[in-house]
Amino acid sequence: MRSLSSVFVAITLCVVSGCGSSASSTIGTVSGQVTFSGQPVKAGEVTLYSPGAGSGATAAIDGEGHYQFQEPLPAGDYQVAVLPPPPPPPQDAVPVAVEVKADDIPGKYRDFNSSGLTLSVKPGDNTFDISMTP
């Protein structure tokens, strides 16, 4: 009887923990490039929000318009917004040379509800290029 309950416990643990399935089958990496009127956006952030999960993530845009989320994301559907870089701290007396003008990220792309951008993260690598227009 004791070995039967050991088998039952082992089977239960296997079912609860996924038994051999890896977490990587439910997560994906996301990267891409952000452009405005065909030109790379050189600073800012790409932000994802999953209404179903109630969570999100943010990735910085580099000087060539590329972004990559540092942590894998759970597979699922996300709303996307593109935000301009934050202003420099007020104590900075020297202006920071950022080549992104406010017009480079139109207002509609700064809000999840108006951007019209959505992403379905699949397990594995995901490339999501964002091409913004005026």
CATH fold of the domain at 23-132: Immunoglobulin-like (2.60.40)
Where do the domains of the chain lie? 23-132
Encode 4-67 in three state secondary structure: HHHHHHHHHHHHHHCCCCCHHHHEEEEEEEEEECCEECCCCEEEEEECCCCEEEEEEECCCCEE
For the whole model, what pTM was predicted? 0.73
More confident residue, 79 or 104: 79
* pLDDT tens digits, one per residue of 4-59: 343 333 333 333 334 444 455 799 999 999 999 999 999 999 999 999 888 899 99
CB 35 within 8 A of CB 129: yes
